[in-house]
Structure 1
Amino acid sequence: IFASGKLVCTGAKKESDVYRSVHNLHALLEEKELMLYD
């Protein structure tokens, strides 16, 4: 995850794997209260 908020997801075999990984990352960041909304 870059300071801009963008991220790079590599190594996925299918597009659905990317969506699942980003969803899991979002859930983890929410759980740790690291998501900031303006």
Structure 2
Amino acid sequence: MIKPRIVLLIFVSGKVVLTGAKVRAEIYEAFENIYPILKGFRKTT
């Protein structure tokens, strides 16, 4: 991501790892930004 500068590792299993944050608030902000995008790619059974 550009702002905040966070690296996301997204696995096929569905797990997401966010790394590179200086403070916890950056992680929450990054997750709020990426969640709607990830939700659009969710597998349906």
- Name the TM-score class by shorter chain: 0.5 to 0.7
Equivalent position of 2:41 in the other structure: 34
Structure 2: gaps of 5 or more residues: 1-9
Written as runs of structure 1 = structure 2, the 5 A alignment for 1:1-38 is 1-30=10-39, 33-36=40-43
Sequence identity, in percent? Answer: 36
Higher helix share: 1
Structure 1: gaps of 5 or more residues: none
Larger relative contact order, structure 1 or 2 (CA cutoff 8 Å, min sep 6): 2
The root-mean-square deviation of aligned C-alpha atoms, in Å, is: 1.9
How many Å apart are 1:29 and its aligned residue? 2.9
